[in-house]
């Protein structure tokens, strides 16, 4: 298998670029940021078909600027519709913030999305038609897929070499941290020599990196349980988690992401009976007696 790598700029600080992989001069894995520049760079390759790992803005771009046939997981196809009608997405986020008393100030950066009106133009293919093995790895996004070909895994944002992927929270789409950890265990059992992530450098020691990720999230879960020795609101918990950058120093968008990731931990712990919800005037979380025993 021939793998061509295209690094494209994205207008964020971290990450500031995204990789698009081009297999056998035919198949595009991920479609870059939603910008004409990115789309022009990709169109020079003349790809025949695209497989998109998930719906985030730095992975789907070319689908809006061409009629390329593509494959995406059904849950991601639903989510990619947010670029056609971003108000729907902003409303979901508002509802989450309202329900869990997270400051609505953190939603301000999303307002830039509200003017977007982007629609996918190509036809949807099945993964069988593309003769590619895809693996669903939910967590960063509910229907995130990785592509396995020739002992290589194209991991999108589900496995990164340096950063631990941000976990999302979509209350109406069930797949969460439990499914993510299970998918990582399954990937570990596959015969993978190299992982090509969508950001950061390639991973030549897949097992070691996957083990480190699993350990990181388990440690975070223990940390959240430890924090919950009194009933607390989501943001009070997020504030106490030891993120790689201190919560107080995070910009509004990253605070929103930190709160959503905290909710992903809480919903996992709640599904395992380790924390419970206390509904007073505001929703609070508190560890159960089982939660205390697992510490």
Work out whether 56 is an interface residue with Zn ion (CB under 5 A): yes
Q: Which is nearer to Zn ion, 134 or 269 (CB)?
A: 134
Work out whether 157 is an interface residue with Zn ion (CB under 5 A): yes
Number of residues forming the site for Zn ion (CB under 5 A): 2
Work out whether 144 is an interface residue with Zn ion (CB under 5 A): no
Residue 292: partners with Cβ closer than 8 Å, 6 or more residues away: none
Q: Which is nearer to Zn ion, 92 or 286 (CB)?
A: 92
Shortest distance in whole angstroms from residue 18 CB to Zn ion: 9
Q: Which is nearer to Zn ion, 1 or 112 (CB)?
A: 112
Q: Whole-angstrom Cα distance, residue 79 to residue 252?
A: 22
Q: Kindly indicate which of the ranges 84-92, 109-117, 153-161, 252-260 contains the residues binding Zn ion, using the contact rule CB under 5 A.
A: 153-161
Q: Which is nearer to Zn ion, 157 or 233 (CB)?
A: 157
Shortest distance in whole angstroms from residue 199 CB to Zn ion: 8
Q: Kindly indicate which of the ranges 56-64, 83-91, 167-175, 268-276 contains the residues binding Zn ion, using the contact rule CB under 5 A.
A: 56-64
Determine the residue with CB nearest Zn ion: 56
Scanning residues 238 to 277, which ones bind Zn ion (CB under 5 A)? none
Q: Which is nearer to Zn ion, 139 or 291 (CB)?
A: 139
| Cross-strand partners of 195 | 153, 203
Q: Kindly indicate which of the ranges 51-59, 70-78, 178-186, 245-253 contains the residues binding Zn ion, using the contact rule CB under 5 A.
A: 51-59
Shortest distance in whole angstroms from residue 220 CB to Zn ion: 19
Number of Cβ within 10 Å of residue 286's Cβ equals 14
Shortest distance in whole angstroms from residue 28 CB to Zn ion: 17
Shortest distance in whole angstroms from residue 94 CB to Zn ion: 21
Q: What SS3 string covers the chain? A: CCEEEEEEECCCCCCCEEEEEEECCCEEECCCCCCHHHHHHHHCCCCCEEECCCCCCCCCCHHHHCCCCEECCHHHHHHHHHHCCHHHHHHHHHHHHHHCCCCHHHHHHHHHHHHCCCCCCCCECCHHHHCCEEEECCCCCCCCEEEEECCEEEEECCCCCCCCCCCCCCCCCCCCHHHHHHHHHHHHCCCCCEEEECCCCCECCHHHHHHHHHHHHHHHHHHHHHHCCCCECHHHHHHHCCCCCCHHHCCHHHHHHHHHHHHHHHHHHHHCCCEEEEECCCEEEEECHHHHHHC
Q: Whole-angstrom Cα distance, residue 70 to residue 51?
A: 6
Shortest distance in whole angstroms from residue 261 CB to Zn ion: 13
Q: Kindly indicate which of the ranges 49-57, 62-70, 87-95, 126-134 contains the residues binding Zn ion, using the contact rule CB under 5 A.
A: 49-57
Q: Whole-angstrom Cα distance, residue 28 to residue 100?
A: 39
Shortest distance in whole angstroms from residue 196 CB to Zn ion: 15
Scanning residues 78 to 107, which ones bind Zn ion (CB under 5 A)? none
Q: Which is nearer to Zn ion, 35 or 239 (CB)?
A: 35
Shortest distance in whole angstroms from residue 60 CB to Zn ion: 10
- Residues in contact with Zn ion by CB under 5 A are 56, 157
């Amino acid at each position: 298998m021939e793998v061509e790598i295209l690094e494209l700029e994205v207008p964020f600080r971290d990450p500031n670029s995204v990789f698009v992989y081009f297999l056998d001069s035919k198949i595009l894995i991920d479609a870059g940021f939603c910008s004409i520049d990115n789309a022009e760079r990709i169109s020079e390759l003349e790809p025949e078909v695209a497989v998109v790992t998930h719906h985030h803005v730095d992975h789907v771009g070319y689908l809006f600027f061409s009629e390329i046939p593509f494959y995406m997981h059904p849950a991601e196809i639903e989510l990619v519709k947010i670029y056609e009608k971003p108000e729907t997405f902003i409303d979901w986020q508002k509802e989450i913030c309202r329900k869990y008393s997270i400051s609505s100030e953190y939603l301000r950066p999303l307002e830039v999305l509200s003017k977007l009106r982007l629609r996918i133009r190509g036809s949807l293919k099945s993964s069988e038609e593309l003769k590619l093995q895809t693996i669903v790895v939910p967590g960063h996004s509910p229907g995130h897929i990785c592509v396995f070909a020739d002992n290589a895994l194209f991991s999108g944002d589900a496995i990164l070499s340096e950063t631990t992927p941000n976990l999302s929270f979509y209350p109406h789409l069930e797949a969460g941290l439990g499914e993510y950890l299970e998918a990582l265990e399954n990937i570990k059992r596959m015969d993978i020599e190299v992982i090509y992530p969508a950001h950061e450098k390639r991973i030549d020691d897949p097992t070691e990196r996957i083990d480190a990720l699993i350990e990181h999230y388990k440690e975070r879960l223990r940390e959240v349980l430890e924090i919950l020795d009194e009933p607390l609101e989501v943001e009070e918990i997020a504030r106490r988690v030891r993120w790689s950058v201190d919560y107080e120093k995070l910009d509004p968008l990253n605070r929103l992401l930190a709160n959503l990731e905290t909710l992903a931990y809480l919903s996992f712990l709640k599904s395992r009976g380790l924390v419970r919800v206390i509904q007073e005037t505001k929703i609070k979380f508190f560890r159960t007696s089982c939660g205390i025993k697992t510490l």
